[in-house]
Structure formats: structure tokens, C-alpha cells
Chain A
Amino acid sequence: MSSKTFKALEPYLLVTPQTIVFLLFLVFPILMIAIVSFWQFNGYAMIPAFTLDNYLSIFTSKVSLQTYLNTFKYVILVWFFCLAIAFPVSYFLAFYIQNQTLQIILFLICTVPFWTSNIIRMISWIPLLGKEGLVNQLLLGLHVVNQPVEWFLYSDFAVVLGMVHLYNFFMIAPIFNSLMRIDRTLITAAQDMGASGWQVLKEVILPLAAPGIAIGSIFVVTLVMGEFVTVRLMGGGQSASIGKLIQTQIGSLQYPLAAANAVILLIVTLILVIGILRIVNIRKEL
């Protein structure tokens, strides 16, 4: 082999291991899900077949429609609160903290919990929000309420709180990144031309931060769409999500039905992601 052809082949050889990882553990499994979603289930095992029954039963069931609506409710609420927290926090770090070391330290403080166990982070809410938890003790002590508030835990409120707690990192990191890239002279220029602080935020900073917001939104939306652990640990009996539904179906070995649900989930998620990309062009950020 001449050195020229080797040079041309080199990048392909170098990306081969990583590509194999994704072909084996991402592409192939998802293809299998798509295939199995047309199979039959005889009560204890799956049988190769071609049937649309799994899809039909999902589209005709009221439960799955309600589950999707409930999942969308979580997506919208978690997305909103993550953004409402992440933007001011990153804005504060990027524009109000001048000392670079302090800036890095404060940013690390915001991100470190992300690298610890999700399960532990959820369990940690129990002594705070439980019936005999700290918040209820406080409210009772101040005579704000006469009985312990029950909906702090094992409710939709707790599910949204738990997810905002777990996933705000995915919003903060990209927004902070795009705010840090804004050329500071643009802001000075706008101020020199008489723009108020509010106008600078709206006309200069927000448009330039849009790609970061879009990337964060994609992460949060896709994470919440497939979520089942938080719904299981923090949610009450009625808290339903499509992820939890799939997990329950797997628990009863109904793989074809779970697979059909997963295919629909994937399509819905893709539509949401494409929708976000339509609104904001993120290419510059990558």
C-alpha cells in the first residue's frame, strides 16, 4: 500500500472502533426494536411475525393517549423550569463575575452534582419533602398548615421537581458556553448607542444565546421523554410516563408491545428535536 492511499484511509481506520461501538450497541438494537415491534406475543414469549396489532392496540387505547399527554406535561414543565433557572444562573456567571478563577469555581459548583448518582439525588428529597419531612415540620411549626402537606412527595409535583434537579445541568452547560462566546465589544457598542440594559439583553444577548438554549432544550426534552426512574421513585401511583409504561410492559415480558411503544416514542422525540432545530440554527455552536 502506498503512503498516499494510507493517508486517505487513515481517518476511516481511526473512527472504526467508535463506529463499531455505536453500530453494535445503538443502531443494531434500535433496528431490532423496529423489527420486534411487528412480532407477536403469545402470553410468555415473542414469535417472529408481521402484524400491526401492537401499533393498533396503542393507537386505539385511551391509556396510551393519556400517558403521552402526561409525558408532554412533564416535558413542558421541566423544560420551562430548567430554562427559567439556567438562563439567569449562566447570565450571572458569564456577565457579573469578572474574576476568571471564581467564575470557573462557581460553574463547577453548578455541575458537580451531575456526576453523582441520580438515585441518591432522588432519595435525598425524602427527608425534606416527606410527610414528616423538614419542610412539613417547618410549615406546621409556623402554623401555615394544620396537617402535613402530602403532595410534596409521590406526586406530579415531586416528579417535576426531581427532574429539574437532575437535568438542569444539561441546560446550564450549553447556555453558559454560548454566553461566554459572546464578543463583549458588541455589548459595549450597544450600550454606547444608548441601549438600556434590558434592550441589550433582548436584542444582543438573547439572539446570540439561542443556539445554547436550543442544545439545552434538545437534551432536556429527550431526557424527559424517555424518563421512567424519576417517575417511579418520586411519582405517585397515578404518575404515568411513556418510559414507565414501556418498562412495565417489559416487566411482563410483552416485548413486541414495548417495542412498538418505543418506536412511537423515538418518532415523537425526533419530531420534537427537528422542531427545535427548525426554530434555531445550532450549527455555529458545533
Chain B
Amino acid sequence: MNKRPLSFYILAAFFGLFVLFLYGPMITIFMLSLQGPQGTLTFPMRGFSFYWLGQVFQEQRVGNFVEAFQRSLLLGVSVMLLSVIVSVMAGLAFRDRFKGSNVIFYLTISSLIVPSVLISLGIGIAFQVLKIDTNWFSSGLGSHLTWTVPFAFLIMIGVFNRFNPSYEEAARDLGASNVKTFWEIVFPLILASLIGVGLLTFTLSYDEFTRTSLVSGQRNTLPLEIFGMTTNVTSPALYALGTLTTLFSFAMIAIGFFSFQFFSKRQQQ
């Protein structure tokens, strides 16, 4: 192997520091949530136990987070299904240029870059003017879709760009209908990507805060519940809850990544 230039070591060190910057804070709250019952919000660690992880499930410590978790879970799954369905349909349409495709494309992108506070305020005002109560499953769902659908759409465009249309053409030549061609040819081929997109949109929704903050109605989603706790929970239970929900997000990403790998391998065989 060639001798590596000095610049390699400098950049590698910079990269290492960056990773430390990204994960360092996360690791400190993981550690602090494993303290003994005398633990506080700062170092040094006082003992070692799973006491605080257990305390998360005691209502008097952190309020009722289980219900908020269930709401976020249900909302995340609905957002995931809707995002995947609309973005796959749009992705299919975008394989060909059609009149007005540019407008739709820029509309989608603008949803991603419009300042989040505008979405929250706008949906809040719209619901108020129409005299409909805001709720996590109506206005909240809509605000989540403005954030997840553009991501799903951009990924689907990438997926269909690499998609070989000759399979479909063969199926059509053999007399299959459009619907049949989609379910029997296209769908199995893009399944791996769909799982990836689905889990990404799920975690985006599960952790979304700004766009939901004004429009979740009476009942909070989990991130909103946690935001409320930052002001009144002063024990490591807060860190323990943070640890648990971060591990949950990690698990979702890992499942998404590995099922993507599994299905794309199977596809190549």
C-alpha cells in the first residue's frame, strides 16, 4: 500500500472530531441515565443501575408518556403509509415528462424548504378559520406529510431513474394490464426501496416537533410531551426517556437498512 499523505491524517482526525461532536452528547445522556437512584442531571455518575430506565414507566416521575408514545406510533405508521402511497404514484408519473411536471416538482421541494413555523402557523390558522378543532390525527397528520412526502418523493424519483423499464414492457407485450403489471412486476422490484422509504418517513414523523408544535390539539405527540418535560422534570428520568426513544429510532433505522439489504440481495438473484 502507498504511504498515505499527511493530508489524509489531518482530514481523518477532523472526521474523528466531527463524529465525537455528533455522538458525544448522546453518549453522555446514555451514561447518565444508567446512574443509581441518587443520580442527578450532571456528572460524576452516582452509581450504576437501571433504576431510571424503570422510572420512565412510573407516571409520577415523567407524566404519562406511554399514551403519547402510542399516539406517535399510530401517527408515524399512518404518515408512513400515506407518504409511501402518494410518492410511489407520483414517482411512477415522473418517469415521463408531462406538462406541468415542473410545477409539481417545485411545489414538492418548496414544502421541504418553507420555514417550519409557517406550516404550523398556517395549518393552525386554516383550522381556526374553518372552525375545526386541531388534533394530532388531522392537522398534525397534515403537517407531518408536508415534511415526509418530499423526502419520499425525491427517493422514489431516484429509485425509478435506475429502474429498467424493459420488464414492464415485456409484461405489457404479453397482455398484462397496467394494474397487473404494477403489482406483479414493478412492486416486487421496488419493494426493498419501499421498506427503506417507509421506515425513514416513520422516524421523521416519530421525531417531528416544529411543524406539529402548534397544531397537535389537546393531546401531545411524544416529542411535544418531552419538550414539556424539559421544564419540569429535573431527574435523570428525562435522560432515560431520551435514551429509550433514541434507541427506538436507532432500531427502526437498523431494521430499515437491513431489510433493504435483504430484499435488494434477493432481487438480484
Interface residues of A (CB under 8 A from B): 10-12, 14-19, 21-22, 24-30, 32-33, 36, 85, 88-89, 91-93, 96, 106, 108-110, 112-113, 115-121, 123-128, 130, 132-134, 137, 165, 197, 218-219, 222-223, 225-229, 233, 243, 246-247, 250, 255, 258-259, 262, 265-266, 269, 273, 286
Majority SS of interface residues in chain A?
helix
Most buried by B among A28, A112, A119, A250: A119
**By the criterion CB–CB under 8 Å, are B21 and A127 in contact?**
no
Most buried by B among A19, A32, A128: A32
Q: Does B74 contact A (CB under 8 A)?
A: no
Known: A119-B227, A124-B28, A125-B25. A22 touches B111 (CB 8 A): yes
Q: How far is the CB of B155 from chain A (nearest CB, A)?
A: 12
Q: Which of B14-51 contact A (CB under 8 A)?
A: 14-15, 18-19, 21-26, 28-29, 32, 41-43
- B19, B105, B209: which contacts A119 (Cβ < 8 A)? B209
- Interface stretch (choices B57-65, B186-194, B246-254): B246-254
Q: How far is the CB of A161 from chain B (nearest CB, A)?
A: 9
**By the criterion CB–CB under 8 Å, are A127 and B32 in contact?**
yes
Q: How far is the CB of A92 from chain B (nearest CB, A)?
A: 4
> Would you list 14 pairs from A and B whose C-beta atoms are within 8 A, ordered by A residue?
A14-B93, A17-B90, A18-B108, A19-B104, A21-B145, A22-B146, A32-B122, A36-B129, A112-B253, A120-B29, A123-B230, A229-B227, A233-B227, A258-B121
**By the criterion CB–CB under 8 Å, are A246 and B121 in contact?**
yes
**By the criterion CB–CB under 8 Å, are A11 and B113 in contact?**
no
Known: A28-B126, A123-B29, A219-B113. A117 touches B249 (CB 8 A): yes
**By the criterion CB–CB under 8 Å, are A197 and B104 in contact?**
no
Additional A-B contact list (19), CB under 8 Å, known A22-B108, A259-B125? A10-B93, A10-B178, A15-B90, A15-B101, A21-B145, A22-B111, A25-B142, A88-B14, A91-B11, A96-B12, A116-B250, A127-B32, A132-B42, A226-B114, A227-B116, A227-B117, A229-B209, A258-B121, A259-B121
